[in-house]
Amino acid sequence: MTLPRLQTEVDKKPGDAAPRAVLARAYAGLGRKEDALREARRAVEALVGETDAAIEHIRHLLSIPCLLSPVLLRIEPRWAPLRGDPRFRKLAELERE
């Protein structure tokens, strides 16, 4: 993916951490340290305390073909902060309706 396309993705979804993280890595790879740090900070800001947005994003990802699955939600350590949320528990099939 080209840098302009990454920037367009970030512009389309300003509250989504994933495209910002990819853009930060691209800037870092190009040696654009300040740009990389700025985008990395913004990506983290989009993640911290944004449980509602995270749950909706996970719900969407589980509805389309992708690598994310209820099993990964249960075992992947990065999802641990959300495991106490009843909506997340339902998506991860830790609790049934």
What band does 96 get if pLDDT is binned at 50, 70 and 90? low
Percent of the chain clearing pLDDT 90 (strictly above):
23
Tell me the per-residue pLDDT of 47-91, one tens digit each, with 9 for 90 and over.
776 788 888 888 888 998 888 899 999 998 778 878 888 999 999
* Domain boundaries along the sequence of the chain: 3-47, 51-91
Stronger pLDDT, 66 or 34, i.e. the higher one: 34
What pTM, to 2 d.p., does this model score? Answer: 0.52
Q: What are phi and psi of 66, to 5 degrees?
A: -165, 180
Q: In Å, how far are 34, 35, 49, 55, 57 from 31, measured between CA atoms? A: 9, 9, 30, 34, 31
